[in-house]
Amino acid sequence: MYQYNTTTPIGYLKGVGPKKAELLENELNIRTIGDLIHHYPYRYIDKKKVVQINQLNAHSGWVLIKGTLSTIKTIGQHRKKRLSAQLKDSSGKVELLWFRSAVWIEKTLQNGTLYEVYGKINGFNGSLSIAHPEMTIYDPKKKTKSILPKYNSTEKLNQRSLSSNFLFKHIKTALDTVGATIPETLPAALRKKYALSSRREALHAIHLSDDFARIQNARTSLKFEELFYTQIKILRTKATKEKSKGFVFDKIGAHFHSFFNTQLEFELTGAQKRVVKEIRSDLKKGMQMNRLLQGDVGSGKTIVALLSILMALDNQYQAAIMAPTEILAKQHYASFSKIFEALGIQVCFLSGSTKTKERKAFSKGLAEGEISVIVGTHALLEESVEFKNLGLVVIDEQHKFGVAQRAKLWKKNPKGLPHILVMTATPIPRTLAMTLYGDLDISVIDQMPAGRKPVKTQHYFEKSRLKLFGELKAHLAQNRQIYIVYPLIEESKTLDYQNLMDGYDTLLRVFPLPEYKMSILHGRMKPAEKEFEMARFVKADTQIMVSTTVIEVGVNVPNASVMVIENAEKFGLSQLHQLRGRVGRGSAQSYCYLMSSYKLSENAKKRLSTMCETNDGFKIAEQDLKLRGPGDLMGTKQSGVLDFKLASLIEDEELVMQTREAAQKVLEHNLLEREDFHMVKANILKDKQSLSWSRIS
């Protein structure tokens, strides 16, 4: 007799078969009985809570109502054909609508029959409706669950009758078939301390319980498991890394003191001083530093990086600075080269546009140790770039580089591992940073330099464009400079260019020569052209910079105090915040104007309102995490690092902290060697993907 378990292919489960199994795999990635059991409900219907129709309003959300179906009719023709019906109870009536599969659905509906209907109430022009409701013929004799779980399905599965109800039925069959073989993953000591259900109980309750308290405990228990194993893998990775020897920077020498005492023209903020001390402590330990430096736009990360580089040079090591764009890399070079020149330090710049003759000279100078610092783009990763003694790597906007790219730079010193300082101006919520970057040491500059005024942000619709132009002319009359940014739509570079040029032509009519002068910047331009246009704007030879998002990161023009973002609804929150960070760098009050169309999704409305409400990058990051999820936010969708089925790093912050504490204690007290923790150790060893990519940030 065949022995079923959680690894059994789903097609072997009674009532499924090969064709349905193929659909489930293609549509929901359900391959085994275990996958099916771990396809959790996204919502529950409380069948004891039936709402009267006259109690409904536009804000009722998801409801269960009971009534008689009538007035079934098809409206419209061809592709715009939709199905409408009325549902009546003793208190009133509500419209039911179907916009897809109208012909097929109409055949299944029974006029004059009593139905239980579940769906989301929509309000439009004072009338209420439910689109694509879930319909069940009401049978008072039929005994049903009082709490019915609802599962994510797809339109294709629904058309093949593999709906939420199908999934519920077969999950019940799966639990009856293999429930007794489900292994425990958390030891009894942990379950008792945190009041968790056993895994078997939790899986049974989350799908089948008629008690909301048991369901909630089951969800908490399964979330705890997800987070605990993520935390313990990350902490084990960190423990391994701490054994990686690094170069010892034990001197604070002439370069550091000379710059700090004679060239630093302002007082460091308390946050900057704290971070410099953290980095200094790392560099003395003899272990490789892997530190993530977070700081909002304009918080002063660059000066911290500079001081770190001077520590490396004072200890006779070289340093490399890598940035994602040529514009940002050149800006770093322009800032650093003046300082380094005054200190007698040789520095060079390398990018894809650097000529062959210069490349050879730079490679020779680095290999022989004559050049101490190199600033550049991904061109630093080329095999021809060799160092005599690379000791520190600074990576700006690190999330824009691939793991393999960063690894190449990491291996540039055959004598040992250079220290790594990665910087981001995209603030990361605490729970996400702890989980994703738990193996890195994290420094946060959470204080802005004195005298910085928050940027005032306003949202305008298209009808207010003339008003906006008037405000822009008033700013120009005060000798301020303006950025006007157009979105990049990756699917169509031609459309991007046309969108930008149409806007530029309109602006030329509003701000005509010779009274006004404009620069333009876009991806089709050659590096020399971009540099020329940017230089004109930096020197204030032009007052308006019309650009795509190439100015998103790093460009620093203190006199530019106005940012206009066209089609702002097409940008993500973090990108809007980055763009806004291009202004507010001088002493003048700065402004950001978000222009959008009238047709906005709920998500877009929340993004734009968040931008108008706060300048706090961490609050913006929290909202971004809620709207987009951690995988989208940090580019980890494909890695599976944050592939949680239930846990949320925002909503479950307390659980994140609890699981971190639990994982730390397990490792600190070597509990993995205890008999009652054997399943934890076995599960860790079974998972071959030990987050090794995180060792290179």
Task: Note whether 516 and 377 are same-domain residues.
Answer: no
Q: Which of 323, 376, 384 is nearest to 347 (CA)?
A: 376
- The number of CA neighbours under 13 Å toward the Cβ of 278 is 19
Q: Are 425 and 283 in contact (CB under 8 A)?
A: no
Q: Which two tokens stand for residue 570?
A: 């097409």
Task: Note whether 394 and 479 are same-domain residues.
Answer: no
Chain position carrying tokens 């089951």: 218
Task: Note whether 271 and 417 are same-domain residues.
Answer: yes
Tell me whether strands 127-131 and 92-98 are parallel, antiparallel or unpaired.
parallel
Range of the domain at 374: 254-285+300-424
Question: Tell me, what's the pLDDT at 163?
Answer: 85
pLDDT along the chain (697 residues), means of 10: 81 91 92 94 89 90 92 81 91 91 84 92 87 88 85 83 89 92 92 95 95 95 93 79 80 91 87 94 90 83 94 96 86 87 92 90 93 92 90 79 64 86 78 66 82 89 92 94 81 61 89 91 81 88 88 70 93 87 85 92 91 87 74 48 75 87 91 90 71 42
Task: Note whether 330 and 403 are same-domain residues.
Answer: yes
Q: For residue 37, is it within any domain?
A: no
Task: Note whether 304 and 415 are same-domain residues.
Answer: yes
Task: Note whether 477 and 362 are same-domain residues.
Answer: no
Question: Tell me, what's the pLDDT at 578?
Answer: 83
Q: For residue 665, is it within any domain?
A: no
Which helix (H) or strand (E) element contains residue 343? none
Letter string b/e over residues 511-538, b meaning 16 or more CB atoms within 10 A of that residue's CB = beeeebebbbbbeeeeeeebeebbeebb
Domain boundary among 94, 109, 143: 143
Task: Note whether 420 and 476 are same-domain residues.
Answer: no
What span, in angstroms and rounded, lies between the C-alpha atoms of 555 and 558? 10
Please return the burial class of 411, using the count of CB atoms within 10 Å of its CB with bins 0-12, 13-18 and 19+.
Answer: exposed
What span, in angstroms and rounded, lies between the C-alpha atoms of 437 and 423? 13
Write down the number of H helices and E strands in the chain. Answer: 24, 21
Q: Which two tokens stand for residue 105?
A: 């659905």
Tell me whether strands 441-445 and 290-295 are parallel, antiparallel or unpaired.
parallel
Q: For residue 488, is it within any domain?
A: yes
Tell me whether strands 318-322 and 560-565 are parallel, antiparallel or unpaired.
unpaired
Which helix (H) or strand (E) element contains residue 46? strand 43-46
Question: Tell me, what's the pLDDT at 491?
Answer: 44
Question: Tell me, what's the pLDDT at 612?
Answer: 96
Q: For residue 581, is it within any domain?
A: yes
Chain position carrying tokens 């309102």: 609
Give me the torsion for CA of 562, 564, 569, 570, rounded to 10°: -110
Distances (CA, A) of 275 to 187, 240, 303, 383, 509: 39, 24, 11, 33, 49
Q: Which two tokens stand for residue 425?
A: 């101006």
User: Domains in the chain: how many in total?
Assistant: 3
- The DSSP result for 93-157, as a single string, is EEEEEE-SSHHHHHHH--TT-EEEEEEEEEEETTEEEEES-EEEE--TTS---SEEEE----HHH
Query: For residue 128, what is the domain's CATH number?
Result: 2.40.50.140
Long-range pairs for 405-410: beta carbons < 8 A, 24 or more residues apart: 405/378, 405/381, 406/696, 406/697, 407/696, 408/381, 409/320, 409/322, 409/380, 409/381, 410/696
Query: For residue 273, what is the domain's CATH number?
Result: 3.40.50.300
Task: Note whether 478 and 626 are same-domain residues.
Answer: yes
- Residue 378 CA, chain-centre distance (Å), reads 23
Task: Note whether 556 and 614 are same-domain residues.
Answer: yes
Q: What residues does 450 pair with on adjacent strands?
A: none
What span, in angstroms and rounded, lies between the C-alpha atoms of 341 and 338? 5
- The DSSP result for 585-649, as a single string, is -SSS--EEEEEE-S---HHHHHHHHHHHH---HHHHHHHHHHHH-HHHHHT-TTTTTT--SS--T
Question: Tell me, what's the pLDDT at 136?
Answer: 87
Q: For residue 223, is it within any domain?
A: no
Q: For residue 293, is it within any domain?
A: no
The 3-class SS string of 359-405 reads: HHHHHHHHHHCCCCEEEECHHHHCCCCCCCCEEEEEEECHHHCCHHH
Task: Note whether 413 and 489 are same-domain residues.
Answer: no
Question: Tell me, what's the pLDDT at 561?
Answer: 93
Domain boundary among 80, 113, 143: 143
Q: For residue 221, is it within any domain?
A: no
Domain boundary among 392, 424, 456: 424
Task: Note whether 362 and 261 are same-domain residues.
Answer: yes
Which helix (H) or strand (E) element contains residue 633? helix 630-634
Q: Are 96 and 84 in contact (CB under 8 A)?
A: yes
Q: Which of 300, 303, 282 is nearest to 291 (CA)?
A: 282
Q: For residue 574, is it within any domain?
A: yes
Task: Note whether 420 and 475 are same-domain residues.
Answer: no
CB atoms near residue 509 (< 10 Å)? 7
